[in-house]
Structure 1
Amino acid sequence: MTTTKNIAVLGGDARYLEMIRSFSKAENVNIELVGFDQLKEGFTGAKQVDFEELDVSKLDAVILPIPGTDDEGYIDTVFSDKQIQITMKWLNQLPKHCIVFSGIATGYLKDAVKKADLKLMPLMNRNDVAIYNSIPTVEGTIMIAIQNTDFTIHSAKVIVLGLGRVGMSVASKFHALGAKVYVGSRNKADLARATEMGLTSFHIDHLPAYTSECDILINTVPALVVNEESIQQMKSHTLIIDLASKPGGTDFDFAEKRGIKALHSLGLPGIVAPKTAGEILGSVILQILEEEKLGEE
């Protein structure tokens, strides 16, 4: 027996347009859009409705914008002037099997969804999404490096902090472009992996000893690791690209005082490749819903 999945997409940015297109091509998916009333473009198989018109009792999935909600439950509606608030009263009307998707899980959202006894799925915390997103993230980082320097990446001395899913891809691609890549981490396995990749590895606590010759520093660690001591050693042309989630891992105020350009570059997949980023989200969400369906059978 085939069961139709009812999905409501509430708000979102350019990535969500491609995500909606991927839903439109899927079989047995019914899509309702809220917060897209400024769009002239229509989507086959998708219906635009007002927030109050949603039949929440029939929903299998609710997709919120990447940032989730603010502290009062309001969401971003890039393609609408109407405000949408996700309240406890509204969440309590959803079926208990309904999955609430967002990019990240804010404090308000986690608490509200838990009280409503629903499942929250922060997509950006998933390994598959993070690995897929590392590709446009790296391309965006390379773009930023080219746009903000007057020297080639080839032969430049590049420090990458953290060798997680993004750090690994960043280090690999800059190495492939001919940069002399140094990788800082606290994880012994990561340091061994960096050496195996032909990179120079060091313990992140020793960062100040490496920054004096650095041309580009790329941070992926969500903790203050690029501190005053490390920035003090940098040359005036050094570029810092911080990819870590807010508040980042760089002392941006001190970098500004030193005249060092430090850019907190968040959400690069949605900026440099919204089409690809949207396809990734759509594919993963459909996969999760299919897994949930199989689990029920």
Structure 2
Amino acid sequence: MLTGFHVAVIGGDARQIEIIRRLNGWDATVYIAGFNQLNESFTEAIDLDFESEQVKQLDAIILPIPGMDEEGNVDGIFSNRLISISEDWLKKTPEHCLIFTGISNNYLNDLTKRVNRSLIPLMDRDDVAIFNSIPTVEGTIMLVIQHTDFTIHGSRVIVLGLGRVGMGLARTFDHLGAEVSVGVRSSKSAARVYEMGLTPIDMTNLQDVDLECDILLNTVPQLVVDASIIKQLPSHALILDLASKPGGTDFSYADKRGIKAILAPGLPGIVAPKTAGQIIADVVYRLLSKNIRKEIDHDA
């Protein structure tokens, strides 16, 4: 249980709804901001008043998966305005206050360092990212079926990147009967692809590799699917870019070639927000219990 904990959930999407529910179920005191357009009311949650003394009680702040922008603004699909989080406001939180985000950026990294608060980018954690890859893979299958007129079985699929999402994509599309190749950068990863019974592709020299395929799945958050790659694709090919914005695909060139290219970050929040929210909430619970309980007990 989280009795005695004070947690603020600021902005986000449907995943945050499940996080709020779970925190309430664990008896935490939950403050919310950025949910004013939500028809469903959280009777056990408190509207966060940024001008009040609530901030001095916060043991944790949970930001959305995208975190905040480079100006300190937090967005959410249930609000009609951005929420600005200032350095002065964060300084009022207790020193032990943890700040959770999905992914971080230079602004958020610098901000938390200036106020000397611990920042936890959840998507950098294996326990979150590996579990999160499950709804990502399921969402990818859904998009492929929606945007193609051929079966996955028997199709030629290239997965770029053998990270936590790439591994799941490669394995699942192979099980569905596709002919799968995987782009990697190291001999270790190439060996893993070979061990999986798939075909490794050297991503350090993509221009000289035959990349003609039916489905190209990118997980690399860098521009790797450029014009030289897109030129090799047949007109019926589908590109799904699962990397964080702005992705790793030259979408403008793909459009000129008449090739369908879709940027699809954050699939767990779209296809399985309840499960994705539970994954985040469970990790937050463990970290709060481990890292803050001793602080609260000591202060008491």
Contact 2:211 2:232 in 1 (8 A): yes
**How far off is 1:83 after superposition?**
4.2
Q: Distance in 1 between matches of 2:75 and 2:277?
A: 16
Cα distance, 1:51 vs structure 2:
3.0
Correspondence for 1:152: 151
Deviation of the 1:169 alpha carbon: 0.2
- Given the superposition, is the C-alpha separation of residues 184 and 77 from structure 1 closer, same or farther in structure 2, using an over 3 Å criterion? closer
Cα deviation, 1:139-161, whole Å, max 9, x if unaligned, reads 11111111111100000000011
Mean alpha-carbon deviation: is it higher for 34-43 or for 96-105?
Answer: 34-43
User: In the alignment, is the contact (CA less than 8 A) between 1:34 and 1:51 conserved in 2?
Assistant: no
Is contact 1:185-1:202 (8 Å) kept?
Answer: yes
Q: Secondary structure at 1:96's aligned position in 2?
A: coil
Give the count of matched residue pairs.
294
Q: Is the CA contact (8 Å cut-off) linking 1:63 and 1:100 kept in structure 2? A: yes
Partner of 2:22: 22
* 1:88 Cα offset (Å): 0.9
Q: 1:217 to 1:266 in 2, by over 3 A?
A: same
Letter matched to residue 170 of structure 2: A
3-state SS, counterpart of residue 269 of structure 2? helix
Q: Once the two structures are aligned, what percentage of the paired residues are identical?
A: 54
Report if aligned partners of 2:8, 2:48 keep a CA contact under 8 Å in 1: no
> Is the contact between residue 33 and residue 47 of structure 2 (CA under 8 Å) also seen in structure 1?
yes
Equivalents in 2 of 1:76, 1:275: separation in Å? 19
3-state secondary structure, aligned to 1:211: coil
**TM-score, normalised relative to structure 2:** 0.92
Distance in 1, matches of 2:256 and 2:49, equals 48
Name the aligned partner's letter for residue 165 of structure 2. V
- Post-superposition shift, 1:86? 0.4
Cα offsets for 1:211-235 (capped at 9, x unmatched): 22x0001111122222222211111
CA contact under 8 A between 1:77 and 1:83: conserved in structure 2? yes
Equivalent-residue separation in structure 2 for 1:97 and 1:14 (angstroms): 28
Q: Which residue number in structure 1 is paired with residue 58 of structure 2? A: 59
Equivalent residue for 1:40? Answer: 39
8 Å CA contact 1:37–1:48 kept in 2: the answer is no
**Structure 1: distance between partners of 2:144 and 2:268:** 16
Q: Is the 8 A contact 1:160 1:183 kept in 2?
A: yes
Question: Given the superposition, is the C-alpha separation of residues 115 and 10 from structure 1 closer, same or farther in structure 2, using an over 3 Å criterion?
Answer: same
Q: Secondary structure at the match of 2:69?
A: coil
Deviation per residue, 1:222-272 (Å, 9 max, x gap): 222222222111111111111112332222222122111111111111111
Q: SS at the partner of 1:55?
A: helix
Runs of at least 4 residues off by over 6 Å:
none
2:264 maps to which residue?
265
Kept after mapping to 1: 8 A contact 2:74/2:83: yes
Please report how far the alpha carbon of residue 109 of structure 1 lies from its aligned counterpart in structure 2 after TM superposition.
1.8
1:146-185 paired onto structure 2 within 5 Å: 146-185=145-184
> Which residue does the alignment assign to 1:4?
4
Q: 1-side partners of 2:56 and 2:79: how far apart?
A: 24
Output the CA distance in 1 between the equivalents of 2:252 and 2:102. Answer: 28
The residue number in structure 2 matching 1:227 is: 226
Using the TM superposition, name which of 127-136 and 165-174 deviates more. Answer: 127-136
> Alignment RMSD, CA only?
1.8
| SS of residue matched to 2:74 | coil
Q: What does 1:92-241 correspond to in 2, within 5 Å?
A: 92-208=91-207, 209-212=209-212, 214-241=213-240
CA offsets per residue over residues 62-103 of structure 1, 9 Å max, x none? 112222222221211432335421011101111110011112
Shift in alpha-carbon separation, 1:110–1:205, aligned structure 2, 3 A: closer
Change (3 A) 1:237 1:69: same
Whole-angstrom CA distance in 1 between matches of 2:102 and 2:180? 31
For the residue of structure 1 that corresponds to 2:51, the secondary structure is helix
